Amino acid sequence: MAHTDNEPVEFSSETMSKMKELIASYPEGKHKSALIRILHLVQTEKGWVSTPSMNKVAEILKIQPIEVYEVATFYTMFHLEPVGKYVFEVCHTGPCMLVGSDNIIEYIENKLNIKIGETTTDGLFTLKTAECLGGCGYGPLLQCKYKFHEHLTKERVDELIEKYRSGKYDQN
Amino acid sequence: MKYRKLLLENVHIPGIDTFDVYRKNGGYRSVEKALKSMTPDEVVEEVKKSGLRGRGGAGFPTGMKWSFLAKPEGVPRHLVCNADESEPGTFKDRYLMEKNPHLLIEGMITSSFALGANLSFIYIRGEFMYVLHILEKAISEAYANGFLGKNILGSGFDLDLCVAPGGGAYICGEETALLESLEGKRGNPRMKPPFPAVKGLWGCPTVVNNVESIAAVVPIVNEGGDAYAQIGLGRSTGTKLISASGNLVRPGVYEIEMGVSVEEFIYGDDYCRGIANDKKLKACIPGGSSVPILPHYLVTKTAAGEDRLMTYESLSDGGFATGSMLGSGGFIVFDEDQCIVRNTWNFARFYAHESCGQCSPCREGTGWMEKVLHRLEHGHGNMRDITLLEEINKKIEGNTICPLGDAAAWPVAAAIRHFRDEFEWHVNEREQSQKRNYGLITQPSVAV
Ligand SMILES: Cc1cc2nc3c(=O)[nH]c(=O)nc-3n(C[C@H](O)[C@H](O)[C@H](O)COP(=O)(O)O)c2cc1C
Ligand code: SF4
Ligand code: FES
């Protein structure tokens, strides 16, 4: 497995400088406040948040590794296991359900031939459900790499998967 | 017909999200006015006069909250904007921040001045990362133009403003959980007292306000608290952003003047234009998933037969027996094809998922309710389950550290109160209930 606990981890110089900038933006001694945003940076670079990554973050923030684990495990946006290149998080809460999110989830499952929580064999897509994503009037919707895809229909889903497959969303 | 817009008036102007266009259209006037011609207490006084009530859900008067802020000598104070927006049905803050970011920045500066805060934060849910970037761009423009930083407009007032993301947790909308999260910890709500006004961020006196509340400070300072109080109806002053979702012809974010009738809001041409696909209205949750659901016959009229209006008072008319709440303005509409049991189960799952787990009545109770509702919805329940739900409710209510427990319990109680027939039908007609929808309930002939 990719996530053995002793594999050393390095972050890119870009990520490292962003982390330093963030830490510096908090008052003396309050740098732990940067933790959640730093975990987002880690996930953006690595795709998920591994234990070695968390240990490295603890080192950078000069806090105990447990303080990082506590936070990373509490917040649902952090993937603590390897995931596909693109994670589709489909909202399945009330307002989205009213406008057909169940059908969209089923459609994606069939289309990608995976169940919720699984990753396609080519490692490209992981399907997850999410609780209300704050776009209830534009449902059904999903989020992938912080991007919202709203007003989903079967056709829109087909199109979306095509675009991700061909790397059209990788630029920005 | 009521058209008055204060927060979204300029959102259709191209480039309004840039400093220059925003400024040309009258932006940052409230900062100039407050810093150059008012004392902090005078700003607080205007907010009190405006009658503004917190837009995050609880409706607590903002001016009063501000006047509770402790001001010990030599201790920094903070203003924290709650942009967590995770109450199902609510998506107004995202719209405001995305379209009109400088309005929030302006409100933060004017409000921080009023509170004597020199370091303020906007805490935004992690899923809104793209909005965080929009806000950061607006903030850097405000710095570049001398509206943030040291000695703003030569007034001697300094302010730094930062945006911090969450990581996906509904509970971080609760103000003390938010503060924990902002300190880089798990979002576990704190015991109150002490309230944030005394011990908040890093133990310092802190005010937490919703995005919309802070944005509303801008027109209040510009036009005066009295002028603001003229808008709206009675103690529901000003305008309110309503997030409309569900089975509507035109869901979306609307700025309404308080006092518009619910009938007009659902069916009017200026608003949602009725129920989608020519269906009938079955039910409505007017204030986000945490408030009681109303059956169709109590949506546009109160139990007394009066028009239901979009105000704090009218939506809660009848108490929990026949009313609901304005809450965060998350207006969720159900058409006749929707299953109330399924929806109640869906929200119960949400709360079970989002409970932080600190107190057992909430942690265990939400999980239990989810299980019981799951079996009712899937045709494995019995009559005893309905009473069981009511009992679990009573065990959660009032026995928890934060209001999430109540927020989970009350909607279940309301669903059973108004739609008991439909719950019973899921028990008595198991097979039928799996195949088709119960349909509309009929209005009880006796007065409720
Ligand atoms: C479980 C829970 C979730 C909440 N979520 C939010 C939220 O997403 N946004 C918000 O502004 N207030 C939320 N609140 C209310 C806040 O605790 C707080 O009352 C509010 O931010 C105060 O701002 P206001 O006075 O301007 O309304 C929530 C409360 C609870 C108990
Ligand atoms: S009521 Fe629920 S969410 Fe609130 S503190 Fe207790 S367990 Fe956590
Ligand atoms: S319910 Fe899906 S975004 Fe709110």
Query: CATH no. for residue A134?
Result: 3.40.30.10
- As a whole number of Å, the end-to-end CA separation of chain A is 30
For residues B106 and B7, what is the distance between their CA atoms, to the nearest angstrom? 12
Select from A21, A49, A74 the last residue of a domain. Answer: A74
Do A102 and A156 share a structural domain? yes
Do A98 and A65 share a structural domain? no
Percent of chain A with pLDDT over 90: 92
For residues B280 and B274, what is the distance between their CA atoms, to the nearest angstrom? 9
Return the ligand 1 atom nearest residue B354 CA.
1
Does A1 have pLDDT greater than 50? no
Does B17 have pLDDT greater than 90? yes
For residues B85 and B328, what is the distance between their CA atoms, to the nearest angstrom? 9
Do A162 and A110 share a structural domain? yes
Encoded tokens for B116: 């004597």
DSSP B274-341: SBGGG--EEEEETT-TTSPPEEGGGTSB-TTSPBPBSSHHHHTTTHHHH----TT-EEEEEETT--HH
pLDDT digits (tens, 9 = 90+) for B171-218: 999 999 999 999 999 999 999 999 999 999 999 999 999 999 999 999
Task: Tell me the chain A residues in contact with residue B350 when contact means C-beta distances shorter than 8 Å.
Answer: 93-94, 131-132
Does B442 have pLDDT greater than 90? no
Say if ligand 1 is within 6 A of residue B264 CB: no
Question: Would residue A1 count as lying in a domain?
Answer: no
Query: Whats the size of chain A, residue-wise?
Result: 172
* Contact call for A71 and B185, based on CB within 8 A: yes
Residue B423 is predicted with a pLDDT of: 96
Pick the more confident residue, B1 or A40: A40
Select from A22, A47, A74 the last residue of a domain. Answer: A74
B214, B271, B331, B419 from B3: Cα distances, Å: 21, 11, 19, 35
For residues A34 and A21, what is the distance between their CA atoms, to the nearest angstrom? 10
Do A108 and A45 share a structural domain? no
DSSP reduced 3-state for B126? helix
Contacts 24+ apart (CB under 8 A), B195-202: B195/B68, B197/B65, B197/B68, B197/B69, B197/B70, B198/B70, B200/B78, B200/B80, B201/B78, B201/B80, B201/B121, B202/A27, B202/A30, B202/B78
Instruction: Name, in order, each residue with C-beta under 8 angstroms of B361's C-beta and a sequence gap of 6 or more.
Output: B395, B396, B399, B400, B405
* Contact call for A136 and B128, based on CB within 8 A: no
Does A94 have pLDDT greater than 90? yes
pLDDT digits (tens, 9 = 90+) for B82-105: 999 999 999 999 999 999 999 999
Select from A51, A74, A97 the last residue of a domain. Answer: A74
Do A91 and A68 share a structural domain? no
Encoded tokens for A69: 């684990």
Q: Give the residue numbers spanning the domain of A106.
A: 86-166
DSSP reduced 3-state for B345? helix
Residue B441 is predicted with a pLDDT of: 79
Interface subset of B 174-213, CB within 8 angstroms of A: 181-187, 202
* Contact call for B346 and A93, based on CB within 8 A: yes
What domains are there in chain B, each with its CATH number? 19-230 (3.40.50.11540), 233-335 (3.10.20.600), 340-437 (1.20.1440.230)
Do A95 and A64 share a structural domain? no
Question: Would residue A102 count as lying in a domain?
Answer: yes
Task: Tell me the chain B residues in contact with residue A78 when contact means C-beta distances shorter than 8 Å.
Answer: 167-168
Question: Would residue A171 count as lying in a domain?
Answer: no
Question: Would residue A149 count as lying in a domain?
Answer: yes
At residue B445 the predicted structure's pLDDT band, cuts being 50, 70 and 90, is low
Do A162 and A92 share a structural domain? yes
Say if ligand 3 is within 6 A of residue A91 CB: yes
pLDDT digits (tens, 9 = 90+) for B401-421: 999 999 999 999 999 999 999
Question: Would residue A100 count as lying in a domain?
Answer: yes
Q: So what's the ipTM on this one?
A: 0.97
Question: Would residue A172 count as lying in a domain?
Answer: no
Report chain A residues touching chain B, CB-CB < 8 A. 25-27, 30, 32-37, 39-40, 67, 70-71, 74-78, 92-95, 97-99, 130-139, 143, 146-148
Question: Would residue A34 count as lying in a domain?
Answer: yes
Question: Would residue A7 count as lying in a domain?
Answer: no
Domain count, chain A: 2
Of A74, A78, A97, the CB nearest to B187: A74
Residue A5 is predicted with a pLDDT of: 59
Do A100 and A32 share a structural domain? no
DSSP reduced 3-state for B346? helix
Yes or no: say if B69 and B103 are a contact pair by the CB < 8 Å rule: no
Do A123 and A101 share a structural domain? yes
* Contact call for B89 and A94, based on CB within 8 A: yes
At residue B440 the predicted structure's pLDDT band, cuts being 50, 70 and 90, is confident
Instruction: Name, in order, each residue with C-beta under 8 angstroms of A162's C-beta and a sequence gap of 6 or more.
Output: none
Of B184, B330, B338, the CB nearest to A33: B184
Task: Tell me the chain B residues in contact with residue A40 when contact means C-beta distances shorter than 8 Å.
Answer: 126, 129, 165, 167
